[in-house]
């Protein structure tokens, strides 16, 4: 029997066990990258790493938009038929988190500041990252700083930030400099590499471009609003980002604003008096497109920010709390008597919400929107791990994830044809729907992706009873994936007639290109059976929908019979001596 260690992996003097919050009680520069991820915010569309408001110090600056990517040519040592040609990588977009603070012209730097109080907390019920500091400046003055950051679940293009500064001891000139920075060349505004703690090689990390990615397309500002716009050089995708500001204080102050191609600044110079608070709000909107020009995205940003002006920040905070209350009603897993385990479980569930909630018919990236790991690609993990959770806890999110798969079905058909296969073959890793894996053996050879997608569709209908969706979208996906299996495999006649699938890679990516992988064959069998059963049911209960589908994809009745035969004859490896199913035929 396996014995699990009772040792807590976290230092509870620094990260106390709070069942509804993830809390940090003191700062350390030794694990910046880890904590930038642990305290990150996102909604499935927009993600912000937990870099400090001041911008320094950071392991990896990061703001990401799901699906916003750059492309690059894949160079193989030797070109071969069917190899992917174009890579896709998520782009680190202009950073609007930056709100720098100067007291007596001394910058607040978390890494070296003398704090008498420090707490950073991510609340799973609010969806807000809060930070409380009391800073003793080099001149001996005490300053209280409270900040909040929220990425909205209800308005997916919106992020809201606040900073409140109060001189507790002494008067001082205070400067608050709110910025949007495009770190276009992979370096920060001080020309230091953005990843300052150079790690060992990690194949999960996104590749660097080695060139400018975002070309400036426009910058604009008014009295309280600033906008920057860009176009990705190769993919042609466009992005607009805008920020609105307001200040509330009884101190005297001077406002300044300016925009340049790669930076926008809203600066408040304040004559701060002891005990008189300063509150600055920052509303940020991001809009992206595959084709729309930046001027149109500027208009979209303006509309998003106009609504914030009309409704106020509290309106969106209240909406966020209501949304999360509903999420937890369907998703919470309660672990009584173990607060540290309860905290870990809820943090994990919260990450699923942050990765999928507002992906809105985009895929769910392997790292969500917390970083550039795995290039921001979508894999089979979405279909076999994330979608089932969403089906039970929030079916609408699951439906959106499945709509993404349906939306790239034509691309999957093209990929199958490229590999001389019938039907459709979904990409192993992708953003656009095109295969982006540069390594065939651990990429395209993982044909089980087709069965994984079909599994997710089938489970969705089984749990939700949404037959209309299944007949409209799911039936076409199951039919085209079943066609691929019937074409990929072959019949072997010895004593029995069995259906075999060779030269594939299963989930074990370290054992590649094998014959009759157990997982692949079992999942393919389910795909074939479920496709046949669905279409026969559809033919009886909704013959009109069946005929429309049959005409659209040129479906023949004998194909369904063939799928049933392939499923019935599927070879499933089994070792009679050991009485186990080996991973593949020769494992």
DSSP structure class, residue 409: H
pLDDT surpassing 50 at residue 196: no
The candidate with the shortest Cα–Cα distance to 242, out of 164, 183, 158, 313, is 158
pLDDT surpassing 80 at residue 186: no
Q: At 87, which helix (H) or strand (E)? A: strand 86-92
Higher pLDDT, 442 or 274: 274
Query: What residue numbers bound the domain in which 90 lies?
Result: 17-312
304 lies in the same domain as 412: no
By three-state DSSP, how is residue 434 classified?
coil
**Residue positions annotated with a catalytic role:** 509
Three-class HEC string of 42-82: ECCCEEECCCCCCCCCCCCCCEEEEEEEEEEECCCCCCCCC
The candidate with the shortest Cα–Cα distance to 369, out of 53, 31, 41, 39, is 41
Distance in angstroms (rounded) separating the CA atoms of residues 6 and 16: 16
Q: At 282, which helix (H) or strand (E)? A: strand 278-289
Question: What order of strands is seen across the sheet that includes strand 41-42?
Answer: 41-42, 46-48, 63-73, 86-92
The pLDDT assigned to 77 comes to 78
DSSP β-bridge partners for residue 72: 87
Q: Which two tokens stand for residue 499?
A: 């259906």
Q: What is the pLDDT of residues 262-309, one digit of tens each?
A: 999 999 999 999 999 999 999 999 999 998 999 999 999 999 999 999
Q: What is the pLDDT of residues 66-107, one digit of tens each?
A: 999 999 998 887 777 778 889 999 999 999 999 999 999 999
179-193 mean pLDDT: 72
Distance in angstroms (rounded) separating the CA atoms of residues 363 and 44: 9
Backbone angles phi, psi at 34, to 5 degrees: -60, -45
123-149 mean pLDDT: 97
* Number of residues that this document lists for the chain: 587
189 lies in the same domain as 71: yes
By three-state DSSP, how is residue 114 classified?
strand
The pLDDT assigned to 198 comes to 46
Reported as a pLDDT band with limits 50, 70 and 90, residue 210 is: confident
292 lies in the same domain as 149: yes
- The answer to whether residue 145 is domain-embedded is yes
- The answer to whether residue 363 is domain-embedded is no
pLDDT surpassing 80 at residue 189: no
Q: How far is CA 217 from the centre of its chain?
A: 26
Distance in angstroms (rounded) separating the CA atoms of residues 573 and 109: 60
The candidate with the shortest Cα–Cα distance to 521, out of 553, 551, 490, 555, is 490
Distance in angstroms (rounded) separating the CA atoms of residues 259 and 251: 26
The pLDDT assigned to 495 comes to 81
140 lies in the same domain as 255: yes
By three-state DSSP, how is residue 244 classified?
strand
The candidate with the shortest Cα–Cα distance to 372, out of 118, 145, 90, is 90
DSSP β-bridge partners for residue 129: 122, 149
Q: How far is CA 315 from the centre of its chain?
A: 25
- Other beta carbons within 10 angstroms of residue 359's beta carbon come to 26
Q: Which two tokens stand for residue 398?
A: 């699951």
- The answer to whether residue 137 is domain-embedded is yes
Q: Which two tokens stand for residue 39?
A: 């305290």
- The answer to whether residue 579 is domain-embedded is no
Q: What is the pLDDT of residues 534-550, one digit of tens each?
A: 999 999 999 999 999 99
User: Is the distance from CB of 250 to CB of 146 less than 8 angstroms?
Assistant: no
**Among the three residues 249, 278, 312, which one is the final residue of a domain in this structure?**
312
Distance in angstroms (rounded) separating the CA atoms of residues 20 and 344: 10
pLDDT surpassing 90 at residue 31: yes
Q: What's the whole-number average pLDDT of the chain?
A: 94
- The answer to whether residue 324 is domain-embedded is no
Reported as a pLDDT band with limits 50, 70 and 90, residue 442 is: confident
- The answer to whether residue 389 is domain-embedded is no
* pTM of the model as a whole: 0.94
What burial class does residue 507 get, using C-beta atoms within 10 Å of its C-beta: 0-12 exposed, 13-18 middle, 19+ buried? Answer: middle
Q: What is the CATH classification number for the domain harbouring 136? A: 2.70.98.40
Average the pLDDT over each of 183-187, 246-250, 347-351 and give the range with the smallest value: 183-187
pLDDT surpassing 80 at residue 146: yes
540 lies in the same domain as 431: yes
Distance in angstroms (rounded) separating the CA atoms of residues 559 and 486: 9
Distance in angstroms (rounded) separating the CA atoms of residues 55 and 61: 8
Q: Which two tokens stand for residue 283?
A: 């509303």
Reported as a pLDDT band with limits 50, 70 and 90, residue 197 is: very low
Distance in angstroms (rounded) separating the CA atoms of residues 237 and 292: 8
- Other beta carbons within 10 angstroms of residue 197's beta carbon come to 14
- Other beta carbons within 10 angstroms of residue 434's beta carbon come to 18
The pLDDT assigned to 45 comes to 97
Higher pLDDT, 211 or 159: 159
**Among the three residues 267, 294, 312, which one is the final residue of a domain in this structure?**
312
Sign of CA dihedral 201, 204, 210, 215: negative
Distance in angstroms (rounded) separating the CA atoms of residues 313 and 115: 29
Q: What is the pLDDT of residues 443-494, one digit of tens each?
A: 999 999 999 999 999 999 999 999 999 999 999 999 999 999 999 999 999 8
307 lies in the same domain as 415: no
Pairing of strands 214-221, 225-232: antiparallel
Sign of CA dihedral 347, 361, 426, 423: positive
pLDDT surpassing 50 at residue 576: yes
DSSP structure class, residue 450: H
145 lies in the same domain as 278: yes
Distance in angstroms (rounded) separating the CA atoms of residues 67 and 571: 39
**Among the three residues 312, 329, 345, which one is the final residue of a domain in this structure?**
312
130-143 mean pLDDT: 97
For the chain, the domain total comes to 2
- The answer to whether residue 117 is domain-embedded is yes
Angle, helix 518-541 to helix 557-568, in steps of 10 degrees:
140
423 lies in the same domain as 551: yes
Reported as a pLDDT band with limits 50, 70 and 90, residue 204 is: low
User: Could you give the C-alpha distances from 12 to 8, 30, 124, in angstroms and in order?
Assistant: 8, 16, 19
By three-state DSSP, how is residue 498 classified?
strand
Q: What is the CATH classification number for the domain harbouring 526? A: 1.50.10.10
Distance in angstroms (rounded) separating the CA atoms of residues 563 and 541: 20
DSSP β-bridge partners for residue 499: 491, 570
DSSP structure class, residue 202: -
Distance in angstroms (rounded) separating the CA atoms of residues 57 and 36: 11
- The answer to whether residue 192 is domain-embedded is yes
What burial class does residue 289 get, using C-beta atoms within 10 Å of its C-beta: 0-12 exposed, 13-18 middle, 19+ buried? Answer: middle
């Amino acid at each position: 029997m396996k014995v699990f260690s009772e040792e807590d992996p976290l230092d509870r003097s620094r990260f106390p066990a709070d069942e509804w919050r993830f809390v940090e009680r003191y700062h350390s520069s030794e694990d910046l990258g880890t904590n930038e991820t642990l305290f990150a915010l996102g909604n499935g569309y927009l993600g912000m790493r937990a870099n400090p408001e001041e911008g320094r110090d950071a392991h990896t600056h990061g703001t990401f938009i799901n699906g916003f990517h750059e492309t690059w040519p894949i160079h193989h040592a030797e070109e071969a038929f069917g190899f992917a040609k174009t890579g896709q990588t998520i782009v680190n977009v202009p950073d609007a988190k930056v709100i720098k603070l100067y007291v007596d012209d001394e910058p607040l730097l978390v890494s070296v500041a003398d704090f008498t109080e420090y707490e950073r907390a991510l609340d799973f019920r609010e969806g807000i990252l809060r930070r409380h500091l009391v800073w003793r400046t080099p001149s001996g003055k005490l300053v209280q700083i409270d900040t909040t950051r929220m990425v909205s679940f209800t308005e997916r293009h919106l992020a809201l930030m606040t900073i409140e500064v109060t001189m507790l001891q002494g008067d001082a000139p205070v400067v608050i400099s709110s910025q949007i920075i495009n770190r276009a060349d992979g370096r920060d505004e001080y020309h230091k590499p953005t990843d300052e703690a150079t790690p060992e090689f990690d194949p999960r990390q996104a590749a660097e471009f080695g060139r400018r990615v975002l070309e400036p397309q426009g910058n604009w500002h008014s009295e309280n609003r600033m906008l920057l716009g860009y176009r990705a050089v190769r993919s042609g995708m466009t992005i607009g980002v805008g920020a609105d500001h307001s200040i509330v204080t009884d101190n005297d102050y001077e406002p300044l604003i300016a925009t340049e191609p790669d930076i926008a600044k809203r600066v408040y110079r304040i004559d701060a008096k002891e005990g008189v608070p300063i509150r600055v709000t920052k509303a940020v909107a991001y809009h992206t497109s595959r084709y729309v020009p930046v001027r149109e995205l500027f208009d979209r940003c303006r509309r998003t920010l106009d609504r914030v002006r009309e409704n106020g920040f509290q309106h969106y905070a209240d909406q966020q709390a209501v949304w999360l209350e509903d999420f937890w009603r369907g998703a919470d897993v309660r672990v009584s008597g173990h607060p540290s385990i309860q905290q870990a479980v809820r943090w994990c569930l919260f990450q699923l919400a942050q990765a999928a909630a507002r992906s809105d018919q985009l895929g769910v990236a392997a790292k969500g929107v917390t970083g550039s790991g795995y290039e921001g690609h979508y894999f089979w993990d979405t279909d076999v791990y994330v979608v089932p959770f969403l089906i039970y806890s929030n079916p609408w999110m699951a439906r959106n994830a499945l709509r993404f798969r349906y939306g790239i079905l034509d691309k999957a058909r093209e990929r199958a044809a490229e590999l001389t296969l019938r039907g459709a073959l979904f990409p192993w890793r992708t953003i656009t729907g095109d295969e982006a894996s540069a390594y065939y053996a651990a990429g395209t050879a993982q044909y089980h992706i087709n069965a994984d997608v079909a599994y997710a569709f089938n489970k969705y209908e089984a749990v939700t009873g949404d037959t209309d969706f299944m007949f409209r979208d799911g039936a076409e996906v199951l039919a085209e994936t079943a066609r691929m299996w019937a074409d990929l495999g072959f019949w072997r006649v010895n004593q029995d007639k069995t259906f075999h699938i060779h030269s594939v890679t299963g989930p074990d990516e370290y054992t590649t290109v094998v014959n009759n992988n157990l997982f692949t064959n079992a999942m393919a069998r389910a795909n074939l059976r479920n496709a046949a059963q669905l279409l026969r049911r559809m033919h009886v209960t909704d013959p009109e929908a069946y005929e429309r589908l049959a005409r659209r994809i040129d479906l023949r009745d004998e194909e369904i019979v063939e799928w049933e035969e392939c499923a019935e004859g599927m070879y499933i490896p089994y070792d009679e001596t050991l009485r186990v199913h080996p991973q593949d035929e020769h494992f």
